[in-house]
Amino acid sequence: MRKGIEKILIEGSESLRVHLDSFQLALFLQYFDILCKWNSKINLTSIRTPKEIVVKHFLDSLTCVKIIKAYINSRVNEKKEISIIDVGTGAGFPGIPLKIVIPSLKMTLLDAKEKKTDFLKELVKKLDIRGIEIIKERAEIIGKNNDFRGSYDISISRAVAPLSVLSEYSLPLVKKNGWFIAQKGRKYEEELKCSMNVLELLGGALVKIENINLPILKQERNIIVIQKIKSTPDEYPRRDGLPKKRPLNI
């Protein structure tokens, strides 16, 4: 099984034009082992087969590498670390795979569930990865906190909520001219259509959509890139649970 996992990782990442060196490959394999061990005791992810874990979690996370490197290159003259917050990271996706491949990133992993942040703390310790902050909190709470609000170059998230809800979680955390990146499946168009006015209200503007086929499984992925062009009004995000319970509909 080990050789099969390595083969999928190597071939899948290369198809995304992401080269994994031997050290990075070893980190992914260790990540896989730790995730499977924890997942046998607590439900971190409903995806459990080795192939699907590698493809739908690891490789799916790496579909964002090209876009994030483009952002880094656009800021190369600023000579500073690029800060990313992964909103609703769960078992560390896409944040940890991105950090493995782009070690210079200053990564924050945000999740409201203690069992998941406990897992992440153990994972980061065992992988010995530096430059990662783990926060157990709701996005609505830290979005109101001046220590976090408007503090990140990039907010990224996958499979957490509809785009209008995710925008209310994410855009308040992003610096002006920073990016909010949402990973979506093939039904993204309706979500985007319903969210354009919400994005404008929250200070965002659509930059581009990257259409990518997920390696091995050949499933469609769409990466929506939104730029923060103005400050998010102070009343957003709304109080705990309200963005999900009553999504903005403008």
- The predicted pLDDT at position 168 comes to 97
Q: CA 76 to CA 17: how far, in whole Å?
A: 21
- The predicted pLDDT at position 174 comes to 98
- pTM for the complete prediction? 0.95
* Residue 239, burial from CB neighbour count under 10 angstroms (0-12, 13-18, 19+): exposed
**Span 63-245: which CATH code?**
3.40.50.150
Q: CA 220 to CA 131: how far, in whole Å?
A: 32
- The predicted pLDDT at position 55 comes to 94
Question: How does pLDDT run along the chain (250 residues), one tens digit per residue?
Answer: 677 899 999 999 999 999 999 999 999 999 999 999 999 888 888 877 889 999 999 999 999 999 999 999 988 777 688 999 999 999 999 999 999 999 999 999 999 999 999 999 999 999 999 999 999 999 999 999 999 999 999 999 987 789 999 999 999 999 999 999 999 988 899 889 999 999 999 999 999 999 999 988 888 999 999 999 999 999 999 999 999 999 998 7
Please give the single-letter amino acid code of residue 113: K
Burial 59-78 (b: 16+ CB within 10 A, else e): bbbbbbbebbeebbeeeeee
Q: CA 2 to CA 42: how far, in whole Å?
A: 23
- The predicted pLDDT at position 49 comes to 86
Domain ranges of the chain: 63-245
- The predicted pLDDT at position 1 comes to 65
| 127: nearest Cα among 222, 246, 33 | 33
43: helix, coil or strand? coil
Give pLDDT tens digits for 113-165.
999 999 999 999 999 999 999 999 999 999 999 999 999 999 999 877 899 99
